[in-house]
Amino acid sequence: MSISTHILDTATGRPAANVAVRLEKESGAAVAEARTNDDGRIRWDFEVEPGIYRLVFDTGGYLGPDAFYPEASVTFRVADPSGHLHVPLLLGPYSYTTYRGS
């Protein structure tokens, strides 16, 4: 199983580098933590069970101490643990959105 994410700063049109991201189980137990690379990306390769997971993005650490959204959380379901899931984040100072990527 691989899970990846990519953060695009929609205000600058550039990848958001060095953003802390935590992957959690539905229970809140941490599965993995990493920081986005210079291209705003993280990829984890490991075994996971089917279930509900959450990506927690430290948007305040990236946008600054007065960030309207100090944290963004995206909850998703792993149905097929043998595949790949890409869960990107489009981030602006007053909004964020996500989608299932490929």
Question: Which of these CATH numbers, 2.60.120.10, 3.40.50.410, 3.20.20.450, 2.60.40.180, describes 2-98?
Answer: 2.60.40.180
Is the pLDDT at 102 greater than 90, yes or no? no
What is the distance between the alpha carbons of residues 47 and 100, in angstroms, rounded to a whole number? 20
Instruction: Write down the domain spans for the chain.
Output: 2-98
Give tens-digit pLDDT for 15-39: 999 999 999 999 999 999 999 999 9
What is the distance between the alpha carbons of residues 92 and 33, in angstroms, rounded to a whole number? 22
SS3 67: coil
User: What percent of the chain stands above pLDDT 70?
Assistant: 100
Best CA proximity match to 76, nearest among 66, 63, 91, 86: 86
Going by the DSSP 8-state scheme, the letter that residue 61 receives in this structure is: H
Confidence of residue 11 (pLDDT cuts 50, 70, 90): very high
User: What percent of the chain stands above pLDDT 90?
Assistant: 92
pLDDT of 93 reads: 96
The enclosing H or E element of 45 equals strand 41-45
Exposed / middle / buried, residue 12 (Cβ in 10 Å: 0-12, 13-18, 19+):
exposed
Exposed / middle / buried, residue 62 (Cβ in 10 Å: 0-12, 13-18, 19+):
buried
The pTM of this model reads 0.95
What is the distance between the alpha carbons of residues 2 and 29, in angstroms, rounded to a whole number? 18
Confidence of residue 79 (pLDDT cuts 50, 70, 90): very high
Is the pLDDT at 1 greater than 90, yes or no? no
